[in-house]
């Protein structure tokens, strides 16, 4: 139990913010506030510290925090505040320097150091964000990939279990996709996948998640959605996709397998995906081109 809770905390507090920028963005205002508080704390502590303590290193912590979380402009503001604050505090300490020239020279050096940090760190942050985006995104469709989907889905399942809320997961498979490749070429197959991605996103809510798991298989996660709402939503998706491919002249159809979780169902993600996959293959084996939804009851044997 303790190990499971630690893993859940690690997934929600560490893995998700690292892999998913939209979740990490929620913590940035708090980090900026923390940086401001640390900046004030450094100003309070500076007169109390021995003269041989390098207070610049202490001020680096809030400057780094604000620049990382807020970007270039907040970082520059923190750099000026840190260097200026030290200058003001030193001006009230007769033993801090021997002349005004030394004081302003120290101010210039500190400001240059803090500005350099505030300029470089946001660029590093942007580079890491770009790398995270590439790691979580399917390059062809722009949707999330399997790794991204699993991170989001595990978090939603944990929230579903904790707050006893319903959830639905559906898998979409493109019928006759191989024939598109064989008859129309790989470029047409890529255009079809991109069309599917656009059309599915168009009919989903902002809180819903859609990802390309690989090949011609897509996953859709609907949080806070009971069985009747999932039935309406996925039938809308199916109808929208069918109309889109008919309009564009693609000779394909779609098989959708959907499972729903009751409020408070503690079903592992692997079980949920497996059941949705089996439901989708029931559709394919019964003629393809339609949708099937199954409520997924508590599977104690699978937990």
The yes-or-no verdict on residue 73 having pLDDT over 60 is yes
Highest-confidence range of 157-161, 179-183, 238-242, by mean pLDDT?
238-242
In the annotation, is 175 catalytic? no
From 138, 216, 262, 277, active-site residue? 216
In CATH terms, the superfamily for domain 146-302 is Reverse transcriptase/Diguanylate cyclase domain (3.30.70.270)
Q: Band of the pLDDT at 14, cuts 50, 70, 90?
A: very low
pLDDT tens sequence across 83-97: 888 888 877 765 555
Domain borders along the chain are 2-136, 146-302
105 band by pLDDT with thresholds 50, 70 and 90: confident
Q: Are 192 and 174 in contact (CB under 8 A)?
A: yes
* Higher pLDDT among residues 18 and 60, named by residue: 60
In 10 A of CB 179, how many CB atoms? 13
pLDDT at residue 220 greater than cutoff 80: yes
Strand order, beta sheet including 253-261 = 209-214, 217-223, 167-175, 253-261, 291-296
% pLDDT > 70, the chain: 83
> What's the chain's average pLDDT?
83
Q: How confident is the model at residue 170 (pLDDT cuts 50, 70, 90)?
A: very high
């Amino acid at each position: 139990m303790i190990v499971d809770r630690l893993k859940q905390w690690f997934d929600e507090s560490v893995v998700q913010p690292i892999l998913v920028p939209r979740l990490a963005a929620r913590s940035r205002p708090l980090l900026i506030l923390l940086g401001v508080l640390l900046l004030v704390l450094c100003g309070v502590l500076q007169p109390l510290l021995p003269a041989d303590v390098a207070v610049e290193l202490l001020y680096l912590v809030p400057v780094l925090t604000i620049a990382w979380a807020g970007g270039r402009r907040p970082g520059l503001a923190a750099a000026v505040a840190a260097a200026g604050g030290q200058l003001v505090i030193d001006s009230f300490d007769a033993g801090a320097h021997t002349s005004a020239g030394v004081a302003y020279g120290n101010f210039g050096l500190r400001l240059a150091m803090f500005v350099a940090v505030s300029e470089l760190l946001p660029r590093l942050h942007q580079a890491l964000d770009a790398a995270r985006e590439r790691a979580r995104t399917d390059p062809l469709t722009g949707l999330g990939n399997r790794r991204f989907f699993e991170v989001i889905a595990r978090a939603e399942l944990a929230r579903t279990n904790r707050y006893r809320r319903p959830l639905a997961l559906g898998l979409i498979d493109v019928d006759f996709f191989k024939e598109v490749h064989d008859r129309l070429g790989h470029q047409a197959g890529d255009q079809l996948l991109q069309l599917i991605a656009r059309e599915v996103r168009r009919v989903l809510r902002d809180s819903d998640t859609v990802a390309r798991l690989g090949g011609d298989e897509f996953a859709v996660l609907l949080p806070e959605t009971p069985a009747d709402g999932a039935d309406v939503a996925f039938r809308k998706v199916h109808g929208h996709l069918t109309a889109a491919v008919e309009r564009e002249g693609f000779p394909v159809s779609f098989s959708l397998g959907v499972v729903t979780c009751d409020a408070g169902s503690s079903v592992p993600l692997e079980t949920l995906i497996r059941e949705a996959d089996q439901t989708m293959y029931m559709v394919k084996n019964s003629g393809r081109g339609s949708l099937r939804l199954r409520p997924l009851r508590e599977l104690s044997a699978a937990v």
